[in-house]
Amino acid sequence: MLTFADKPTLVGEKVLLRPVRPEEDLPMLRVMLNDPDVLRYTSDAYTPEPPEWDEAMERRVVDWYTTRNDQTDRLDLIVVDRATGRGVGEVVLNEWDEPNRACNLRIAIGPDGRDRGLGTEAVRLLTDHALRALGLNRVSLSVYAFNARAQRAYEKAGFRVEGVRRQVLRYADEWIDDVDMAALADHWA
Ligand SMILES: CC(C)(COP(=O)(O)OP(=O)(O)OC[C@H]1O[C@@H](n2cnc3c(N)ncnc32)[C@H](O)[C@@H]1OP(=O)(O)O)[C@@H](O)C(=O)NCCC(=O)NCCS
């Protein structure tokens, strides 16, 4: 059985998931982290303007990505578009709950990689790794109710809706619900 300390390369039809290569990936990750859709759908608080990208932010981002391969309780992989060989985003297993063999999954794909089935395949590949190679029983995530594309991608990848937490996010002058979804080992074909 593999562990979170192992950083595999997972190969699908459209995408390949591989460990972070900070030098090569940082330019793409900077674009991704500043992308309006990524900010809208992955932030836990609404900000009308993207956060200012100053030196401190740059340092935090560089530190973060240069230490991803040393982590023994999570797995951060870059989503590579096999058609071009270029990184387009990241997909992550985190919040490991060891005694209950569960973790969370998160994904963000930048503007060059979206709407071509790459996200669905990346989620499916990493969930398969979690449930089979890592021996986890449960992979869960939450998705804002106004993110229909992500919900559809997760459903196609094999996740099921478990419930809705109401009015979790104040987005401009609206309340947005959060949808909980999960994939379980005994339902994973
Ligand atoms: C969410 C994300 C990972 C999905 O990956 P993707 O490669 O863009 O999505 P896919 O092409 O694999 O699948 C998207 C599906 O949603 C559908 N879709 C797209 N826009 C939609 C919309 N507005 N409403 C309903 N369905 C929509 C597509 O038609 C497709 O379904 P289909 O294959 O049945 O036609 C990616 O778009 C992303 O990272 N977005 C920005 C950040 C984000 O939302 N992260 C997730 C936070 S929970």
101: left (phi over 0), alpha (psi -120 to 50) or beta: left
DSSP state of 52: P
What does the alpha-carbon distance between residue 174 and residue 27 come to, in Å, rounded to a whole number? 33
CB-based contact 186:150 (threshold 8 Å):
no
Ligand 1 centroid vs 99 CA: distance in angstroms? 32
Averaged pLDDT of the chain: 97
What does the alpha-carbon distance between residue 19 and residue 10 come to, in Å, rounded to a whole number? 10
Ligand 1 centroid vs 118 CA: distance in angstroms? 9
DSSP state of 151: H
**pLDDT for 61:** 96
Ligand 1 centroid vs 35 CA: distance in angstroms? 15
Lowest mean pLDDT: which of 44-48, 84-88, 105-109, 144-148?
A: 44-48
Across residues 168-189, what is the average pLDDT?
A: 96
Across residues 66-81, what is the average pLDDT?
A: 98
Query: Would you say residue 189 has pLDDT above 90?
Result: no
Query: Would you say residue 50 has pLDDT above 90?
Result: no
Q: What percent of the chain has pLDDT over 70?
A: 100
What does the alpha-carbon distance between residue 134 and residue 94 come to, in Å, rounded to a whole number? 13
Q: What percent of the chain has pLDDT over 90?
A: 96
| Structure confidence by residue, pLDDT tens digits, 135-174 | 999 999 999 999 999 999 999 999 999 999 999 999 999 9
Fold classification of 10-187 is Aminopeptidase (3.40.630)
Closest ligand 1 atom number to CA of residue 115:
11
CB-based contact 122:106 (threshold 8 Å):
no
β-strands 138-144, 10-11: how paired? unpaired
Q: Bridge-partner residues for 16, per DSSP?
A: 11, 80
What does the alpha-carbon distance between residue 105 and residue 153 come to, in Å, rounded to a whole number? 13
What does the alpha-carbon distance between residue 39 and residue 155 come to, in Å, rounded to a whole number? 22
Write down the domain spans for the chain.
10-187
Does 127 contact ligand 1 (Cβ within 6 A)?
no
Q: Whose CA is nearest to atom 33 of ligand 1?
A: 117
Q: How confident is the model at residue 97 (pLDDT cuts 50, 70, 90)?
A: very high
**pLDDT for 186:** 96
